[in-house]
Amino acid sequence: MGQAVESDLVERLLDGEHRALARVITKIESQSPGYRDIVSEIHAHTGHASVVGITGSPGAGKSTLVDKLAKYYRDQGETVGVIAVDPSSPYTGGAVLGDRIRMASNVGDMDVFFRSMSARGQLGGLSTATADAVKALDAFGKDRIIIETVGAGQNEVDVVKTADTVVVLVQPGSGDDVQMLKAGILEIGDVFVVNKADMEGASRTVAELQEMIHLRDDPRANLDVGHHGADAFDDAGAHGGHGHGGNDHSHEVDEEPEPEPVWTPQVVETIATTGEGIDTLVETLADHYTYLSESGELEEKARQRAAEEIRQLLRSDVNRLLERELDHRGGIDDFATAVVDKETDPYAVTETVIEPLRECLEDRDD
């Protein structure tokens, strides 16, 4: 009976029923029984939406920017899904929802679906839950999906990695540059937005960001540049760093093949409250998506995300099995007491608890 109900829920989601979409995301967030079956069933219907992750320190204007971005896409006739994630606290879901009320541009527009998600005591699995919620929005048929994080720490980095393009929002003259370096956000940003660009110090913040991007992409800085190339390609255009670089020597027989396209992170100035610069940001996001598609990195990112998701689920499930085995053997407290009393040691305890699992895996037919 339960399976039939879940299948009906999936069918309604695929048919475009917003209430079914909301219920599915609730099940995903709370890890309700059967939620994995739902995610498995919708998986084949995903892979069509473009996903943007937006992070940055509190007060940088993320909610306002996301609102204007969503409105821009809606004006283009596209549907939008927004997930606002707060990895820091299990109690702020209501507050994040309160922020949504301020997003007046899209109030009453059912084609802009807003949803907040919070840690609820399961911080490690929040990135997986976010990825599953993105799948639900994707399968539903949303053209654009935006993941907005409340803070700008390592947990937020893990969450926005589920996006194709990562946007880092910076407030002028706030010292965010140092914080970004500490949080490791500089390394994952594809586009940097200096919001409130009419504030004093905006041009200096832009210059500092561009300098940091240059240092990051300079191989002499001994930094791991990941997918970002070391060459900035001056001819890449004002709004995007998508370029093929090098001179055209195709008529010469012995020349090396043309270099692969690279992406140099772009810095965009916006004033989210007025909508100024949003069109430039949208153009830059489109440039990055084009780069991802043409370079083959879109597919590679999807493969990496799938691999990490499998690992995360395996860790979670194996941990649950081992916790059950611990309880079966008297509980962690008894083992801890025995270790403190020098009757055994942590390595011996671990070996004892994991032995049945190891035997099961080693004894199976290959």
> Could you give the CA distance from residue 298 to residue 339 in angstroms, rounded to a whole number?
49
State residue 207's pLDDT score.
86
State residue 230's pLDDT score.
37
H helix and E strand count, the chain? 14, 9
Three-class secondary structure of residue 253 per DSSP: coil
**Torsions phi, psi for 288 (to 5 deg):** -65, -40
Give the DSSP per-residue string, 292-341: HHHHTHHHHHHHHHHHHHHHHHHHHHHHHHHHHHHHHTT-HHHHHHHHHT
- Name the pairing type of β-strands 165-170 and 50-56: parallel
Q: What would the two tokens of residue 17 be?
A: 């029923």
The strand ranges marked E within 186-282 are: 191-194, 242-243, 262-263, 266-269
Note the pTM of the prediction, 2 decimals.
Answer: 0.80
* Superfamily per CATH, domain 47-242+257-295: P-loop containing nucleotide triphosphate hydrolases (3.40.50.300)
Question: Could you give the C-alpha distances from 221 to 30, 213, 218, 236, in angstroms and in order?
Answer: 44, 11, 6, 23
The span from the first CA to the last CA of the chain, in angstroms, equals: 36
**Torsions phi, psi for 92 (to 5 deg):** -100, 10
> Could you give the CA distance from residue 305 to residue 300 in angstroms, rounded to a whole number?
9
Q: Boundaries of CATH 3.40.50.300 in the chain?
A: 47-242+257-295
> Could you identify the residue written with the tokens 């048929």?
141
- Name the pairing type of β-strands 80-86 and 165-170: unpaired
> Could you give the CA distance from residue 279 to residue 21 in angstroms, rounded to a whole number?
29
Give the DSSP per-residue string, 36-60: HHHHHHHHTT-S-SEEEEEEE-TTS
State residue 251's pLDDT score.
52
> Could you give the CA distance from residue 164 to residue 174 in angstroms, rounded to a whole number?
27
**Torsions phi, psi for 100 (to 5 deg):** -60, -30
Phi-psi region of 57 (alpha: psi -120 to 50; beta: other; left: phi over 0): beta
Tens of pLDDT along the chain (366 residues)? 556 667 899 999 999 999 999 999 999 988 888 999 999 999 999 999 999 999 887 778 888 999 999 999 999 999 999 999 876 655 544 444 444 444 545 555 567 899 888 765 454 567 788 999 999 999 999 999 999 987 656 666 777 778 999 998 888 876 655 556 555 677 788 999 998 888 888 888 888 888 888 877 665 544 444 444 434 333 444 444 544 444 454 555 556 666 777 898 899 999 999 999 999 999 999 999 999 999 999 999 999 999 988 998 898 899 989 999 899 888 999 999 999 999 999 999 999 999 888 888 887 765
Residues 6+ apart with CB under 8 A from 296: none
Instruction: Report the candidate in 79, 51, 65 with the shortest Cα–Cα distance to residue 279.
Output: 65
Q: Do 13 and 42 meet the contact criterion of CB atoms below 8 Å apart?
A: yes
